[in-house]
Amino acid sequence: NAGVTQTPKFHILKTGQSMTLQCAQDMNHGYMSWYRQDPGMGLRLIYYSAAAGTTDKEVPNGYNVSRLNTEDFPLRLVSAAPSQTSVYLCASSYQDRGPNQPQHFGDGTRLSIL
Amino acid sequence: AQSVTQPDIHITVSEGASLELRCNYSYGATPYLFWYVQSPGQGLQLLLKYFSGDTLVQGIKGFEAEFKRSQSSFNLRKPSVHWSDAAEYFCAVGASNTGTASKLTFGTGTRLQVTL
C-alpha cells in the first residue's frame, strides 16, 4: 500500500526560483492538505482541498496549489524565499466524515532555500 | 480560533518508566482531539483520537489519553515506555462545529528521549 507519496524527499533551491512539490495518494481520499513543519512551531496548515476542483488557502502568499484530480495535490512555490525553508507534509483523508477518518501523512519534503 | 499548547518541549524517561505528555487546548465547543507520533524522517502516525463518549481512549502501541473538559486537557500516557517510543509527539485539535476534523491545529510537539 503506497498511501501518501511525496516527492522529492530533499531539495535545495535558490531564492527567487520556483518549484513544485508533488503529493499523490492512492486511497481515493477527497480531502487533501499541505502543512509546513518548523522546529518549535509544530505543523501549520498552508492549503487544503475538500475535493477535486476545489482548493482553499490558510496562509496568504508565496504558495499555490491545484487539484485537477482526486489523487494529486501539488504545491508550488512561486518565487522561493529563505523564510520558506521547511519540511512540507502532505496529508489526505476521506472527505468530511469527521474524526473517524484520520488523516494519513506522507513522509515529507525537506526544502532548503538559499 | 482553536489552539493547542504542549508545555514540554523535551522529556527524557528511562525505559520501563511511565510516561505522561501534556496537552492543553482552547476551543469553544467540544473538540476533536488527536495525538500523533513522528519518528525521524517520517510522516505522522495517528496514535489515538477523541471526539465523544468515553473520556479515556485507547490507542496503538499501548498509549492512552484522557479528555478532561474541566481542565481543557488531553494528556497522553503510557505505563511502561520502550526504547522504540523515542520520537516526537504532537497533540492536535480539529474543529467539531464544521462537521469535519480535517483541518487540524497542531501543538509545537514534545520530543521524547528514552534512556536505557
Instruction: Quick: pLDDT tens for B87-98.
Output: 999 999 987 655
Residue B101 predicted with pLDDT over 70 = no
Distance CA A113, CA A82 (A): 5
Distance CA B50, CA B101 (A): 11
Q: What is the arithmetic mean of pLDDT over B61-75?
A: 95
Chain-centroid distance, C-alpha A111: 12
Q: Which chain B residues are Cβ-neighbours of A48 within 8 angstroms?
A: 102-103
- Per-residue pLDDT at B6: 97
Contact of B5 with chain A, judged by CB distance below 8 Å, is answered with: no
Please tell me what DSSP assigns to residue A72. B
Cα A88-B45-B64 angle, rounded to 5 deg: 140
Query: A105, B45: Cβ pair inside 8 Å?
Result: yes
Q: Which residue in A39, A33, A24 sits closest to A59, CA to CA?
A: A33
Q: What is the arithmetic mean of pLDDT over B49-63?
A: 91
Q: Is the dihedral of CA B98, B101, B102, B108 positive or negative?
A: positive
- Per-residue pLDDT at A55: 83
Residue B89 sits at φ, ψ, to 5 deg, of -120, 135
Q: Which chain B residues are Cβ-neighbours of A40 within 8 angstroms?
A: 9, 108
Categorize the per-residue pLDDT at B85 as very low, low, confident or very high, splitting at 50, 70 and 90.
Answer: very high
Query: A107, B105: Cβ pair inside 8 Å?
Result: no
Distance CA B111, CA A29 (A): 30
- Per-residue pLDDT at B32: 87
Please tell me what DSSP assigns to residue B30. P
Q: Which residue of B has its CA nearest to A94?
A: B102
Residue A36 predicted with pLDDT over 60 = yes
Bridge partners, B32 (sequence order): B94
CB-based contacts of A103, cutoff 8 Å, min separation 6: A31, A33, A91, A92, A93, B44, B46, B102, B104
Residue A62 predicted with pLDDT over 70 = yes
Task: Establish, for the pair of chains A and B, how many residue pairs have beta carbons separated by less than 8 Å.
Answer: 68
Q: What does the block give as the cell for B109?
A: 510537539
Q: Which of A43, A50, A93 lies nearest to residue B106, judging by beta carbons? A: A43
Distance CA A86, CA B106 (A): 16
Chain-centroid distance, C-alpha B81: 15
Residue found by looking up cell 465523544 in the block: B52
Query: A99, B101: Cβ pair inside 8 Å?
Result: yes
Task: State the virtual CA torsion across B29, A97, A33, B92 in degrees, nearest 10.
Answer: 40
Q: Are B23 and B11 contacting, i.e. CB atoms less than 8 angstroms apart? A: no
Query: A98, B101: Cβ pair inside 8 Å?
Result: yes
Higher-confidence residue: A101 or B47?
B47
Chain A contact residues (CB < 8 Å to B): 4, 31, 33, 35, 40-45, 48, 50, 89, 91, 93, 95-100, 102-103, 105-108
Helix or strand or coil: residue B12? strand
Residue A107 predicted with pLDDT over 60 = yes
Q: Are B99 and A100 contacting, i.e. CB atoms less than 8 angstroms apart? A: no
